[in-house]
Amino acid sequence: MNMQISSSLVLGLLLGALPALKAQVRYSVTDLGVVSAAAMNNAGQVTGYFHTSTGASHAFLYTDGQMIDLGTLGGNNSGGSSINDGGLVTGSSQTSTGDSHAFLYSYGQMIDLGTLGGSTSSGVRINTEGQVTGQSETFFDATHAFLYTGVQMTDLTPWTLDSSTGVSINDAGQVTVGLDGNIFLYSYGDLIQVTTTGSHVAARVGGAINGSGQVTGDFFNGSQFQAFLYSSGQFSPLASPGESAGFAINNAGDVVGYAVVPFGGLTGALWRNGQLQLVGVIGHSNCMASAINNLGQVVGACGPGNRDYPNSVGFIYSDGDFSATDLNNLIDPKLGITISEASMINDRGQIVANSGGHTFLLTPIPTSNP
């Protein structure tokens, strides 16, 4: 295997590094409160769940400076899991019977998407067209991946009693499916196996997909887990010196996640055009890259593994940077907060981050040209 590894971060980790020379964007900070954020769209709208005064969990939509309680389908609890650029939200909610059902929140109304014949279901991801994927119990007490396209759910694995789940969906309606410890791609009516047990491959959590139907995640290569890229019917392990995983992929096919490197341990990873580039903050260890936008900006965290640990920091990396930048250096220090994790970034450069149990929305501050 011809493995190319960017040496800049390795040298920086071992020898120290000079700061990036280009001007850095600064961010305004909006406190969303004590909420659990699950997804953000390109308009900066955020969904997830929060705890009400009664202790119940409710789905929320943050939009235009307002936090909206989306309510439930008649039960006590609900939660948002995904939001599209039109502000439509999917997730799951308890009904009046206590069962949880997938929902679609559209223009002020929470719509029950039903099930595949069983008692429960949950919405996991939604695309621009309002199509939803997730999982549902069937008549036969199995849990299966589904695709909802505006009328009813379609069972994506109807021939098996084994459990499956819809993991992600792109705007073309292609869905990544987790089944039997492997990742499949549902594409225009066909279910294509991405990772194969015939090659002694056992997929772990993964299955991010981009607009072209490229998929990433990780697989067991016989000795350790390794990141992969599936593109145009071709499964390709992504080069890494040790264990690795792909967490997210943008429309250019850039993959981010983590890699374990000799002497450096766990660090963020960016795979672009077959080259592995290590991404982390100088002076910090145990880094992971969690998201990448279509501008190639990467966010993640470095620290002991607990996002609220005092020494954890959220970071951003952009093309041309020598290393990732601690986001705490890009916000007003008078706020008195420490960003410990950055989990999402949209195509406007807005970031969802965490600090001390609170969730924050970071928005780039426009710079004026002299």
pLDDT at 198: 28
| Positions of the chain with pLDDT lower than 50, given as ranges | 1-21, 197-204, 306-308
Calpha distance 101→266 (Å, rounded): 38
Hey, which residues does 345 pair with through a beta bridge? 351
pLDDT at 197: 47
Share of the chain above pLDDT 70, in %: 88
pLDDT at 15: 31
Torsion angle of the four alpha carbons 295, 300, 302, 306, in this order, in degrees rounded to the nearest 10: 170
Share of the chain above pLDDT 90, in %: 77
The answer to whether the beta carbons of residues 48 and 57 sit under 8 Å apart is no
Calpha distance 83→38 (Å, rounded): 9
- The two structure tokens encoding residue 290: 């969690």
Burial readout 324-350 (b: 16 or more C-beta within 10 A, e: otherwise)? bbbbbebbeeeeebbbbbbbbbbeebb
Q: 73's torsion region: left (phi>0), alpha (psi -120 to 50) or beta?
A: alpha
Hey, which residues does 166 pair with through a beta bridge? 177
pLDDT at 369: 55
Calpha distance 40→291 (Å, rounded): 11
Helices and strands (DSSP H and E) totals, the chain:
1, 33
**pLDDT tens track for 86-100:** 999 999 999 999 999
**pLDDT tens track for 25-37:** 999 999 999 999 9
pLDDT at 284: 86
Domain ranges for the chain: 1-33+239-365
